[in-house]
A and B are shown apart, each in its own frame.
Chain A
Amino acid sequence: MTTVTTTPTDDRVATRSAAASFLGRPEVGALIGAVAVAVLFFAVAPAFRNVANVGTILYGSSTIGIMAVAVALLMIGGEFDLSAGVAVTASGLAAAHLAWYFSLNVWVGVLFALALSLAIGAFNGWLLYRTGLPSFLVTLGSFFVLQGVNLALTRIVAGGVSSNSLNDLDGFSSAKAVFASSFTVGTVEIKITVIYWAILTVIGSYLLLRTHYGNWIFAVGGDSAAARAIGVPVTITKIALFMGVGFCAWVLGMHNLFNYNNVQSGQGVGNEFIYIIAAVIGGCLLTGGYGSVVGATVGALIFGMTQLGISYAGWDPDWFKTFLGIMLIGATLVNLYVKRKADAR
């Protein structure tokens, strides 16, 4: 060991260049990936270059991005939610069944679904805290429970595999305007979910980087024992993160309900992994304590571009999942590589 540790200026640590600090950010890998995917489909798919299709691409991205924001925050907080995919469907079904069965104003169903979605999130968090089990296991359980409830209750209430149409109930048109309307900018049709996605990204990112709650999220994910010892309310923070996933599931569930007038009870299975992949591509560590909301949003954008790009390019859409798997591993490797380079500089 040499002498320097406490000298007034420590000459071993040089100030990092702006480029190195930029490359050290968690979302850089996702940005590189997004540019690469965009360039690829620009080259091979003529329809991709059509400005009008921007709206379609953004819409597809938003249905993943809304959830990816909440899932990224949860992952930075060190937990998983495997029930996130079916929670979206459960929220839509809850609103549809309640409003249809009692012939209520659909807004009653919407509010009930919000309460239910938040309650499911809170229950996941509470169960995690009470049992001390890993969230992977706890939410795997709630994933299957919800999946079964979705199918069984829909069979009982609606007698089939989809909820009944809410067209003729009071409040339907206003609810549709709020959750499933669209507007045009020039030749581009923008769905309202894109706006919600953007708002959630801004709020989530601000929450994470500019508020004390964000500090707590990083801390409980990075080292929950240290966070607790220093006085961070770990349990409440984690429960709140699960409730955040519940809230976003509600937003997306309501969109699905009012966009198509009904909800298929088997929907949503498998989507939880897509949300997690978007967050991981965006730079979130599986072990928690590190990641970015903006990155998860870019990850969702990569999805949207890939999904449509494959069909615009005339490729067999069966390859979509394969492409996703390669993207996931590739993005993770790029993230690791970039981070190591930036740290070494």
Chain B
Amino acid sequence: MSASPAESSILELEDIGKSYGNVHALKGVNVSVRQGEVTCVLGDNGAGKSTLIKIVAGLHDYSDGTMKIDGQERRFASPRVAQAAGIATVYQDLALAPLMSVWRNFFLGNEIRKGPFLDLPEMKRICGEELTKMGIDIPDLDRPVGGLSGGQRQVVAIARAIYFGARVIILDEPTAALGVKQSGVVLKYIVRARDAGLGVILITHNPHHAYLVGNHFIILKLGRVVLDAHREQLTLEQLTAEMAGGQELSELSHELRGVDPGKVVEPQELEPGAVFDSTAGSAGSTE
């Protein structure tokens, strides 16, 4: 929307920290989100991913550092304020009200009015058009959202965020609960959102999905950034290794290799002792 060059950030977090009492959930995190880029935030459970998005989405305030939108320092008092600043969040679990119809969910909080009343035909028409544009066809928009598949729900939420003029869209684990095919559909819409000029923040713990669409990767661990790299500086293997903890993973694989669970398939040939002969103990590729 704005004429900012591709290199300048829409959203910039500088040295952001968040404490709950004496627990530092996040410390010294730097993230910049640029237009037309997918920034992937990866991390294991408890790494601080959720805290990070809650700060950007306006659900929590931050305790240290600065958050800048278009170079201006901002603090969001509520999700409504964040949305007004162009930041839309698509949550994994709390995206939509399950018993409400598709079109009511689509326009929730941004209803089209004709005088004091809702403009129902217009809302249904736009909702149907926007979903068709995204390549998803739901013939009965009066159907409650709870009856849709997980992938359809994600796409409805993404379509909604794009339609209402978000400049930054945050996706919280959009593929975590989905099958292979549906994950592919959601990833396709992430790329489409990026090409539409949005800044996308993709929160995930699946490095394969992240590497398919990401331009920029940030790995969080125990509330700190442990990796911040552009796509060119990284291979999928490196990303996977970093994500799983690098050194820790190789140690773990070494440890698990000793167990060798493969022999279970041939119980009749099993002889005690034979199990350990075939494995040669070698360290993993990372050193």
A207 to chain B, nearest CB (A): 10
The complex places the Cα of A10 from the Cα of B143 at a distance, in Å, of 14
- B83 near A231 with CB under 8 A, answer yes
Contact present for B108 and A219 (CB under 8 Å): yes
User: In the complex, which residues 210-249 of chain A have their Cβ closer than 8 Å to any Cβ of chain B?
Assistant: 210-212, 214-216, 218-219, 222-223, 225-233
Q: Which of A1, A5, A210, A227 interacts with B108 by CB under 8 Å? A: A227
In the complex, the answer to whether B138 meets A13 with C-beta atoms within 8 Å is yes
Interface size counted on chain B using CB atoms at 8 A:
43
The answer to whether A223 and B94 touch across the interface, beta carbons within 8 angstroms, is yes
Contact indicator B104/A218 (Cβ below 8 Å): yes
Given the interface pairs A218-B99, A226-B96, the reply to whether A212 lies near B113 with Cβ below 8 Å is yes
Question: Considering the chains assembled together, what is the distance between the CA atoms of A222 and B118 in angstroms?
Answer: 20
Known contacts A5-B151, A230-B109; decide if A218 and B118 are in contact (CB<8 Å).
no
Kindly identify, within residues 43 to 100 of chain A, every residue whose CB is under 8 Å from any CB belonging to chain B.
Answer: none
Q: Contacts of B140 on A, CB cut-off 8 Å?
A: 13, 15-16
A8 interface residue per 8 A CB criterion: yes
Residue in A5, A227, A229 whose CB lies within 8 Å of B149: A5
Q: Are the C-beta atoms of A222 and B98 separated by less than 8 Å?
A: yes
Q: Is B246 an interface residue (CB 8 A)?
A: no
Nearest CB of chain B from residue A204's CB, rounded to whole Å? 14
Contacts of A1 in B (CB 8 A): 179-182
Q: Does A7 contact B (CB under 8 A)?
A: yes
Flag if B139 contacts A228 (CB, 8 Å): no
Cα of A13 to Cα of B149 in the assembled complex, Å: 12
- B135 and A226 form a contact (CB under 8 A): no
The reply to whether B151 and A226 form a contact with Cβ atoms under 8 Å apart is: no
Given contacts A212-B118, A229-B59, contact A8 B97 (CB under 8 A): no
Is B165 among interface residues, defined by CB-CB distance under 8 A?
no
B211 CB-CB contact with A under 8 Å: no
Of the residues A229, A289, A343, contact of B100 by C-beta under 8 Å: A289
Tell me, yes or no, whether A9 is within 8 Å of chain B by CB.
yes
A interface size (C-beta, 8 A): 37
Provided the pairs A3-B181, A5-B185, A206-B117 are in contact, do residues A229 and B94 lie with their beta carbons within 8 angstroms? yes
Of the candidates B97, B139, B180, B185, the one whose C-beta lies within 8 Å of that of A13 is: B139
CA distance A206 to B115 in the complex (A): 13
| Cα distance A225–B137 in the bound complex, in angstroms | 27
Point out the residues of chain B lying under 8 angstroms from A216, CB to CB: 108-109
A227 B97 Cβ-Cβ under 8 A: yes
Question: Whose C-beta in chain B lies nearest to the C-beta of A222?
Answer: B97
Question: How far, in whole Å, are A232 and B110 apart by their CA atoms in the complex?
Answer: 9
Q: How far is the CB of A291 from chain B (nearest CB, A)?
A: 10
Q: How distant is the Cα of A1 from the Cα of B149 in the complex, in angstroms?
A: 12
Task: Decide: A226 and B94 in contact? CB cutoff 8 A.
Answer: yes
**Closest Cβ neighbor of B103 among chain A residues:** A215
The reply to whether the CB of B5 lies closer than 8 angstroms to some CB of chain A is no
The answer on a CB contact under 8 Å between A232 and B151 is no
Cβ-based interface call for A290 (8 A) = yes
Query: In the complex, which of the residues A9, A16, A212, A289 contacts B97, with contact meaning CB atoms closer than 8 Å?
Result: A289
Query: In whole Å, how far is B53's beta carbon from the nearest beta carbon of chain A?
Result: 10
In the bound complex, residues from chain B placing their C-beta under 8 Å from that of A222 are: 97-100
Sample of 29 A–B contacts (CB below 8 Å): A1-B180, A5-B181, A5-B185, A10-B139, A13-B138, A13-B139, A16-B140, A210-B120, A211-B118, A212-B111, A212-B113, A212-B118, A214-B118, A215-B104, A215-B107, A215-B111, A218-B97, A218-B100, A222-B97, A222-B99, A223-B94, A225-B94, A227-B109, A228-B78, A228-B79, A232-B109, A285-B99, A289-B98, A289-B100
Beyond the given pairs A1-B181, A211-B118, A214-B118, 5 more chain A to chain B contacts, judged by CB atoms under 8 angstroms and listed by A's residue number, are: A15-B139, A212-B113, A218-B100, A226-B96, A230-B109
